Structures are given as C-alpha cells and as structure tokens.
Structure 1
Amino acid sequence: MNQVIDTYCDSLKLSTIQSEWRTLTEEASKDNIPYHVFLERLLELENQARIERSRQTLLKLSRLPFKKTLDTFDFQRINGVSKRDIEEYMNLSFIEQNQNLIFLGPPGVGKTHLAVSIALEAISKGLKTYFMTAQELVTSLETADAQGKLDKKMRGIAKPSLLIIDEMGYLNLSDNGGHYLFQVISRRYENSSIILTSNKTFSQWGEVLGDGIIATAILDRLLHHSRVFSIDGPSFRMKNKSAE
C-alpha cells in the first residue's frame, strides 16, 4: 500500500504529500481525525510548499542584487520620501494599474534599497519581477540585436509584472542606447509597471542618452502614469564607511 501511494505521488508530482502522508496518517489515526480534515491538511501542506517553491523560483529569476526590506531602511536620514509613502505602494495596487515609480537622488541615499523592498513584496505575492541596471539592459538588447534576436528579447522584457531599471544615468549609454530604452518603455507603457532609479534629474537625461528628442519621448511615456520621489540626504554608504 505504501509503495502504491508513493508511486502515485511521484507520478502526480506531489512531493510534499509523499513525504508527509505517513506522519499525518498516524496522527489522524491516533486523534481520530475525520477523513475530510486529514485530506484537507495534506492538500494544504502541498499547496503551501508549491507556493514557497514558486516564490523561490521567482526570487532567483528576478536577479535582485540583494534582499533588503523597509525594516532596515533609515528614513530619518533622508528627505523626499517617508516610510508611509513607500508603505502605500506595498499593497502593489500600482502594479495592477500599470503605474510606475521613479526614485531620483544622489548616490547612496537608498534608491535601490527602496526598489528592492517593493520588488520583494511583489515576489511574495507571486508576481514576476526582473531587475537590471540601465547599462545591463541596453547591453543585453545590443547583443540580442546583433544576434538577430531583438524581438524575442523585447518580448521577454515586456513579460514581468514589474521591471526595475536601476542606475539610470550612472553611465552614459551607447549611441543606440536611447533607442533601445525607448522600445522597452513603449512596450511596457500602460501594460505593466516599472520602477526606475536615477542619480540624474530629468533635464540631464538628454545628455545621458545622447539624444534630447529620445529623452523627451521616453519621459513622456514613463511619467504619464507615475509617482516621482526626489530623495536627498547623506550617503548611507559613507555613513557605514565612517563607522568602520
């Protein structure tokens, strides 16, 4: 009997039930638990395990550079955004409405930390999330274009519910970088959400992209449904360096 149950579990990919049914059977027999309650517990364990495996897969595929939550963010050191502001977006309704979030500010004020904390919440809710720096994004598209796979790459970038574009402006993009970025923004416009971080003001994007017209076109779409936080304050990295 045991082997038959294990065989069915293996065939149906019920790995958690396969590992737990013996223990729960003993408990059910000992405590005289009704059959339907026993079955419900088994199915609940399997469902919870699958949800957790899915979350871990989403986390791995997201390419997040680290795992940081709001609990470790020091809002007292900065201006321009409060904990209440970010908590408002933790319900992820902005993703349901295909809206964007933009964090502007000098290096070290926690822009990426805030973006990642929201991304972790999205992943915990089962939403596909993808993280890339602006430079990585453009480079990957240039490579795909050279290989004749640009459209396929664009479709892949359009799929995640939430795309994080980090460090926009940290480095000036290549000559065609603005055109690639425009295609990404256009594909996701009113279809899915973006969180973007940048140490440059919008007026400087023409210089970063090497094309003022492209910069205007990108900002027109990016800002249409967005909330912008302009953050200012001392660098967290310099604070930690001083503490050393």
Structure 2
Amino acid sequence: MNSSYTKLVDNLEYLKLTQMVTHLDETIDFMNNNQLSFVDALIKLTDYEIDMKEINMVKSMVRVAAFPHHKEIKDFDFSFQPSVNKEQILDFISLRFIERKENIVFLGSSGVGKTHLATSIGIAAAKKRTSTYFIKCNDLILNLKKAKLENRLENRLKHYAKYRLLIIDEIGYLPIDADDAKLFFQLIDLRYENKSTIFTTNSNFKDWAKIFQDPKIANAILDRVLHHATVINIVGDSYRLKDHIKKETEES
C-alpha cells in the first residue's frame, strides 16, 4: 500500500496536479469513512484541481486585460454620484450587453468615475472568462500608427477586433489628426455589430468633429459607436475630490 501510495503521489507530482497531491490524504480518509466509491472519490479529488485551474485562469484573464487598477463595482460610491443608476450598472455587470453586441459610452467631466465604472464592468467580464482588453485612446492611436508604419496594420486591427469586450478610455483628452482618425474608424468599423466596446469620454458628441479633425470621419465613427449603445451621462463632482469635499464639510 505504501509503495502504491508513493507511486501515486509521484505520478501526480510528475503531472503537476498539485491540488490533487495536497488533498489526496483527506480524500482517501473521506472515502474510507463515508464508503465513497472510487469514482466519486476521484471526482472529489479532480474537482480540487479544476477549481484551482479556474481561479488561475480568471487571474490570468484579468491580468491580460491590462486594467489601470483593480477597482470593482463594490468599490464605487453610488451615493456620491446619484446621477449613476446603480441597477443599470449592475445590469451591465451581468454582461447581457456583450451577448447582444452592444456598446456603452460613459460621458462626463474628469474624475466623475467613468474609468472606474468601465474597469469594473471589464473586470466582471474577465472574471467570467470573456476576452477583455483596456487601453487609453491615445495609446491605441499610437499603436495603430506604429503598426501602419511597420506594414502590419491589418494584424494590429485584427488583434484589437478579436476581444469580445474592448474598453477605450479617455476619448477627447488629446486631439486626433485626420489620418489617425481613419485608423480609429477602421477599428470601430471592424467591431461594429460584432463585438462590444466601452468608451469613456469627457467630450459631448457634437465636439467629436473637432477631436477627430474631420467631421465626415467623426460622424461615421459616432454612427457606429451609438447605433447599439447605452450612453451614461455622469453629472456630478469629481470622484477624486470626494475625500477633500468631505473633509471641508466636516471642518465647516
């Protein structure tokens, strides 16, 4: 028995089934004490391994998504931002919009929580093993420009188009020249009605013609962004200044 047990442990370690090694003794004891069949014991033992692989997979999906921070929906103070409908955000967290290939646009001034909410939804998606990627608009444009110069634009566009959820942060913070706007349009057109995209912007849609420096391209982008989209207009104080405002209120 001892030699068989040792051989089993060696085999499991060789196969890198570390959770099965860790829980082997307790599973054998449980099987003996509860008259568990060999098959049921094996199911119990392999469940430990699967659970750990699932945990590691989720961690990997979240890491690969390149979020700027790990802020989830439980960390968002809805009482500070009453213009945000909590039930609507929780519906987004259910990922129903991804199944329907719809977009979300968070619109509002700097610091009101646009990126936090977008990231929270992205983390929820990644945790459910939905391919997700976060990128700032300026970095996206720079990457597409670089790819075009290196004659690999098509591959780069396909890379960003493959994610079931792409989060493009901070549209409008920096101007985009007309040539770069065309690159951006190509990506939006590839994803249109195929995948879901979350956008955050501090600029009203009427100002997008100035941002992209080409009214025709701006309209074409907006047409595809907004066709199947929910726009969340956040009106309120800067979320980043919340603690300072609270302190001033307490001192007054």
TM-score (norm 2): 0.90
User: For 1:39-118, what aligned pairs fall within 5 Å after superposition?
Assistant: 39-118=42-121
- Are 2:131 and 1:141 equivalent residues in the alignment? no
Provide the C-alpha distance between the structure 2 equivalents of 1:121 and 1:24, rounded to a whole number of angstroms: 33
Provide the residue aligned with 1:194 in structure 2. 197
1:149 Cα deviation (Å)?
Answer: 1.5
Provide the residue aligned with 2:241 in structure 1. 238
**Ranges in structure 2 where 5+ consecutive residues have no aligned partner:** none
Does the C-alpha gap of structure 1 residues 211 and 224 become closer, same or farther in structure 2, counting only changes over 3 Å?
A: same
Provide the residue aligned with 2:180 in structure 1. 177
**What is the aligned-residue identity percentage?**
34
1:155 to 153, 158, 163: 158
Q: After alignment, is 39-48 or 164-173 more displaced?
A: 39-48
Secondary structure, aligned partner of 1:75 = coil
1:205 to 198, 204, 208: 208
Provide the residue aligned with 1:23 in structure 2. 26
* Alpha carbons 2:176, 2:211 under 8 Å: kept: yes
Provide the C-alpha distance between the structure 2 equivalents of 1:115 and 1:12, rounded to a whole number of angstroms: 40
1:9 Cα deviation (Å)?
Answer: 3.5
Provide the residue aligned with 1:37 in structure 2. 40
Secondary structure, aligned partner of 1:176 = helix
* Alpha carbons 2:165, 2:198 under 8 Å: kept: yes
Provide the residue aligned with 1:127 in structure 2. 130
Provide the C-alpha distance between the structure 2 equivalents of 1:10 and 1:173, rounded to a whole number of angstroms: 54
Number of paired residues? 244
Write the letter of the residue equivalent to 2:129. Answer: G
Deviations 1:114-142, CA, capped at 9 Å, x for gaps = 11111111112111110001001111111
Q: After alignment, is 42-51 or 185-194 more displaced?
A: 42-51
Secondary structure, aligned partner of 2:23 = helix
1:241 Cα deviation (Å)?
Answer: 4.0
Over the residues paired in the alignment, what is the CA RMSD in angstroms? 1.9
Provide the C-alpha distance between the structure 1 equivalents of 2:243 and 2:145, rounded to a whole number of angstroms: 37
Does the C-alpha gap of structure 1 residues 144 and 235 become closer, same or farther in structure 2, counting only changes over 3 Å?
A: same
- Are 2:222 and 1:219 equivalent residues in the alignment? yes
**Ranges in structure 1 where 5+ consecutive residues have no aligned partner:** none
Does the C-alpha gap of structure 1 residues 12 and 176 become closer, same or farther in structure 2, counting only changes over 3 Å?
A: farther
* Alpha carbons 2:59, 2:127 under 8 Å: kept: no
